Chains A and B, each alone.
Chain A
Amino acid sequence: MTAQLVLMIAGLALVWACGAANREDTRPGFFGLAQWLLLVVLASAATSSLLHGDPIGAPVLAATVILAFPWFVARRWLIPRGHWRASWWLVRSSMWTWHDDNRGGALVAAAWAAIHAGAPPRALRFVEARCERSDCGAAHLLATGLVAAARGDLEGARRWMTSLCEFEGPATPRMARRLAVQWIAAEATTRGAWSRVAALADDRDADAATILLATVARRLGGTGPRPSDAELERAWSRAPSRQRLRALVDRALHHSEPVDAADPPHATPLEADPHRCALLAHAALVASPSPTARGLADACAAWDRVLGDAGFVDTARRRAAVLGARVDPPEALSAGIQADLVTLVRATGLELGEGARGDGETLVRVRRALHQRLLDELEIVADALASRVRARRILAMHEEWREYLAVRGAFARAVAMTGPELQRLGYAIVNPPVCALAVWLWNDRRNRVHAHQMFRWLLREAELAEDTEAIALHRRNVECG
């Protein structure tokens, strides 16, 4: 009996080890087959023992079932109860759900359980320490995001999750991506960011919960076609934890269709004095919690009228002379306007877009100054990355990814603020350092999952910038796998 018990325990340990050893990109893979073969043998032996009245059979059979469905058990029982270490240990052997990255999957399970356990620092440190190892797959981005959320850094968590959702190609761990999409939908719903939630409806990894939230978002936010009551009920009936989401669905059902309101006329101050009118428009713009591109264009137009008014310029210059000032008032005013508006656009992320033929001088100057400042900032971020890669200073994988995201984010913001005009110049700045980082990761550090995603992004941006040389290079890089 003791020999039988030892044999069964050894068998269970071997099952776990087979799962943990699994590094296959496809399922079931060699270790997966070995694991399931052992599970079948163990389950048969345990059942046979049980039928012969041997008490060893019951616990071995239970352990076999647990090891056969580690993610299900972890998600159903261990994670909600906050057993972070047990969740990590069990999911580490998952070869079905997390066949493509069970190291990362185990970290996701641990981080998720840690949230339910009240974010104990030990658990968060445990996850972070493992995320720093370079052999992690992409799922560690989800774990890092969950740790950031557990620490209260929702902005950081959003960034990590979004970067995982942008993973393309076969190297993306499906379960991690599906969970990240659901997390983003739930978090955006809580904030009432309906357009963000609705956009997730067509995501390839949107599960029933995400689809329900996206349907609610379309109804409450008025984004996309308005779903009918039946559509809402259908989405709700398919969602997990649906009873707890009922209040949200009821709110959506009782939400009446908004009456199409005409675009409210923009409040342009009616003043006879163009200087006062421009000051009012400027004050309204800088004091506004959510300034718009139209408000900015209106303020610029108002300043154009002031600076083009010969009477104002003459009076201001005479006044300066009376006071004994050597400063040229129109020039000082123009510099102040430009400084304020560039700062405002940088601080609020206002998207000015591409310049148009009818733009006034002030707007053109603001756009030009912003363009230059954004390129300078982009160069600083890109240079920092380039020098580190040249010096071969290795960072933990999630830190490497964070640096890549910083360059990418700066580039995307710059393009969004001043339009595609910046695309080509900005691309010429970010391409060399990001490419060098990806090549380094691919060739020397064997981290092909992350490198591949970087090449994909570089290729996409090269196509937008119409950089033929870079397109050819990154096409070859992407084709490498």
Chain B
Amino acid sequence: MSVTDRWADNPFFVLELSVAASRAEVERAGQKWLDMLAVGIGRAAIYMTPLGARARTPELVRSATAALRDPERRVVHELWYLDHAPTPPDDDDVVDVDDGDIGFDAMTPLGWARP
């Protein structure tokens, strides 16, 4: 299981359920998201994870519901569930100290690039 499976595709995030959700709640949530996606409700297309926003698709919802039906998989997903996870910063907020474009091309003045 990769970090993507653990968090980005964690069924609890996909279905927006807490770890305490019962089997019936899982089934209801799965059906609810499938209906919303079928109708094309905008909010249904996105869900939040600790790695940022992800696109919700009917396949993902079906796979999440199936994962929570399986006790072996559910217990592992519960261990990786993080409620109210902080979203990672946007790429624009990241300041690259080294290896950042300085806005000056030193290659052209020295003849290493075409003027």
Residues of A within 8 A of B (CB): 79-80, 112, 115-116, 118, 149, 182-183, 185-187, 189-195, 209, 213, 220-221, 240-241, 244-245, 247-248, 251, 276, 279-280, 283-284, 286-290, 316, 319-320, 323-327, 329, 332-333, 336, 339-340, 343-344
Instruction: Report if B113 contacts A (CB, 8 A).
Output: yes
- Contact among B52, B72, B112 for A325, CB-based, below 8 A: B72
Residues of B within 8 A of A (CB): 1-3, 6-7, 50-52, 71-72, 74-76, 78-80, 82, 85-86, 88, 91, 94, 96, 98-102, 104-114
Chain A residues near B80 (CB-CB < 8 A): 279, 333, 336
Chain A residues near B75 (CB-CB < 8 A): 316, 319-320, 323, 325, 327, 329, 332
- Contact among A194, A276, A323, A336 for B1, CB-based, below 8 A: A336
Q: Is the pair A241, B71 in contact by a Cβ cutoff of 8 Å?
A: no
Known interface pairs A183-B112, A248-B104, A329-B79. Does A191 touch B99 (Cβ–Cβ under 8 Å)?
Answer: yes
Q: Is the pair B111, A80 in contact by a Cβ cutoff of 8 Å?
A: yes
Q: How far is the CA of A336 from the CA of B1 in the complex (A)?
A: 7
**Looking at A284, A316, A325, which has the most chain B CB atoms within 10 Å of its CB?**
A325
Q: How far is the CA of A333 from the CA of B78 in the complex (A)?
A: 10
B56 → chain A, closest Cβ, in Å? 19
Q: Is the pair B98, A192 in contact by a Cβ cutoff of 8 Å?
A: yes
B74 → chain A, closest Cβ, in Å? 6
Q: Is the pair B106, A186 in contact by a Cβ cutoff of 8 Å?
A: yes
Q: How far is the CA of A56 from the CA of B99 in the complex (A)?
A: 57
B95 → chain A, closest Cβ, in Å? 10
B2 → chain A, closest Cβ, in Å? 7
Q: How far is the CA of A284 from the CA of B75 in the complex (A)?
A: 23
A254 → chain B, closest Cβ, in Å? 13
Q: Is the pair B74, A340 in contact by a Cβ cutoff of 8 Å?
A: no
Q: Which 4 A-B pairs have the closest CB atoms?
A: A244-B109, A283-B50, A287-B88, A189-B106
Chain B residues near A276 (CB-CB < 8 A): 82
Chain B residues near A116 (CB-CB < 8 A): 111, 114
- Contact among A186, A247, A319, A344 for B112, CB-based, below 8 A: A186
Q: Is the pair A115, B71 in contact by a Cβ cutoff of 8 Å?
A: no
Q: Is the pair B85, A283 in contact by a Cβ cutoff of 8 Å?
A: yes
Q: How far is the CA of A344 from the CA of B6 in the complex (A)?
A: 14
Known interface pairs A192-B101, A339-B2, A340-B6. Does A280 touch B110 (Cβ–Cβ under 8 Å)?
Answer: no
**Looking at B79, B94, B100, which has the most chain A CB atoms within 10 Å of its CB?**
B79
Q: How far is the CA of A247 from the CA of B104 in the complex (A)?
A: 8
Chain B residues near A319 (CB-CB < 8 A): 75, 78
A91 → chain B, closest Cβ, in Å? 15
Q: How far is the CA of A189 from the CA of B100 in the complex (A)?
A: 10
Q: How far is the CA of A327 from the CA of B88 in the complex (A)?
A: 31
Q: How far is the CA of A333 from the CA of B113 in the complex (A)?
A: 51
Knowing that A116-B111, A241-B110, A327-B76 are A-B contacts, what are 17 other residue pairs whose CB atoms are under 8 Å apart, sorted by A's residue number?
A: A186-B112, A190-B101, A191-B100, A192-B102, A193-B98, A241-B111, A280-B82, A316-B75, A316-B79, A325-B71, A325-B72, A327-B75, A329-B75, A336-B76, A336-B79, A340-B2, A343-B2
Chain B residues near A190 (CB-CB < 8 A): 101-102, 104-107
Q: Is the pair B107, A289 in contact by a Cβ cutoff of 8 Å?
A: no
Chain B residues near A280 (CB-CB < 8 A): 82, 85-86
Known interface pairs A192-B101, A316-B79. Does A241 touch B109 (Cβ–Cβ under 8 Å)?
Answer: yes
Chain A residues near B82 (CB-CB < 8 A): 276, 279-280, 283
- Contact among A182, A320, A344 for B110, CB-based, below 8 A: A182
Chain B residues near A324 (CB-CB < 8 A): 71
Known interface pairs A241-B111, A325-B71, A336-B6. Does A189 touch B102 (Cβ–Cβ under 8 Å)?
Answer: yes
Q: Is the pair B106, A333 in contact by a Cβ cutoff of 8 Å?
A: no
Q: Is the pair B51, A192 in contact by a Cβ cutoff of 8 Å?
A: no
Chain B residues near A115 (CB-CB < 8 A): 112-114
Q: Is the pair A187, B112 in contact by a Cβ cutoff of 8 Å?
A: yes
Can you name the residue of chain A whose Cβ is closest to the Cβ of B105? A190
Can you name the residue of chain B whose Cβ is closest to the Cβ of A157? B112
Chain B residues near A220 (CB-CB < 8 A): 102
Q: Is the pair A339, B1 in contact by a Cβ cutoff of 8 Å?
A: yes
Q: How far is the CA of A192 from the CA of B101 in the complex (A)?
A: 6
Q: How far is the CA of A4 from the CA of B5 in the complex (A)?
A: 83
Chain A residues near B74 (CB-CB < 8 A): 323, 325
Q: Is the pair A189, B104 in contact by a Cβ cutoff of 8 Å?
A: yes
**Looking at A149, A186, A187, A247, which has the most chain B CB atoms within 10 Å of its CB?**
A186
A203 → chain B, closest Cβ, in Å? 16
B114 → chain A, closest Cβ, in Å? 5
Can you name the residue of chain A whose Cβ is closest to the Cβ of B83? A276
Can you name the residue of chain B whose Cβ is closest to the Cβ of A341? B3
Known interface pairs A241-B110, A280-B86. Does A286 touch B51 (Cβ–Cβ under 8 Å)?
Answer: yes
Chain A residues near B7 (CB-CB < 8 A): 283, 286
Chain B residues near A323 (CB-CB < 8 A): 71, 74-75
B101 → chain A, closest Cβ, in Å? 6
11 contacting pairs across A/B (C-beta < 8 A): A149-B112, A183-B107, A186-B107, A190-B106, A191-B102, A192-B100, A244-B109, A276-B82, A280-B85, A289-B91, A329-B79
Q: How far is the CA of A190 from the CA of B113 in the complex (A)?
A: 12
Q: How far is the CA of A80 from the CA of B114 in the complex (A)?
A: 8
Q: Is the pair B6, A287 in contact by a Cβ cutoff of 8 Å?
A: no
Chain A residues near B113 (CB-CB < 8 A): 115
Chain B residues near A286 (CB-CB < 8 A): 3, 7, 51
